[in-house]
Amino acid sequence: MPIIAPSLLACNFLQLEAECKMINSSEADWYHLDVMDGRFVPNISFGLPVIEQIHTVATKPLDVHLMIVEPEKYLEDFKKAGADILTVHAEVCHHLHRTVQHIRQLGMKAGVALNPHTPIDCLEYIIDQIDLVCVMSVNPGFGGQKFIPSTYTKVKQLRKMIDDRGLAVDIEIDGGVTQDNASEILKAGATVLVAGNTVFKSDNPLEVIKQLKHSLHIL
């Protein structure tokens, strides 16, 4: 079954504790937390204090996605805040291998995110050092965008790269995931689905999470 990671960027922040408890009681596997700095992406979201509070309530791993410049400066801070998985963008890390090594040395799983225009070739010499590749299926910065269809080809290529090397690296899809395209995304080779508006803007988030979790059964 796929890993389902609801994105709290789309939740009701006035009801943050209740939203976290909903995820705890659901069939979701991870929390997906998007950290934006207004520099790497044209939006500002939330940071360490909010993640620290989520960590006090969450009973599932925190999958923290850093959409920020100079992420290497804050790795230890996010570990202390409660991150279990820490993902940085290939586009901003001049010393990506060093950053990934540091994340793993701190005891977190290491992820690398790729923007829609970034080819998977940049992972060739680091794919065996990471736990997760986050494929952006929308342009990062805002929720509610439509899925970019070329993502399917990218995921298939990435799945081949991982399988050819006999690695156990998760492929996470972030952006525009819905009940309508989840099965196709998984068929292409993804293992983790991030869903924001699809979950939190629905009338029944628990049911939507359940449907996403069981998407493979409707392939």
Report the top-level CATH class of 3-218: alpha beta
Find the mean pLDDT for residues 65-88: 98
Whether 75 shows a pLDDT value over 80: the answer reads: yes
3-class state of residue 163 by DSSP: helix
Evaluate whether 69 touches 92 at the Cβ level (below 8 Å): yes
pLDDT digits (tens, 9 = 90+) for 120-176: 999 999 999 999 999 999 987 666 678 999 999 999 999 999 999 999 999 999 999
**pTM of this prediction?**
0.95
List, by residue number, the catalytic residues: 34, 174
* DSSP H stretches of helix in the chain: 16-25, 48-57, 75-81, 96-105, 151-164, 182-188, 197-200, 205-213
**Residue 139 pLDDT:** 87
Q: What is the pLDDT of residues 28-40, one digit of tens each?
A: 999 999 999 999 9
Spatial CB neighbours of 153, under 8 Å, sequence gap ≥ 6: none
pLDDT of 142:
65
pLDDT at 168: 97
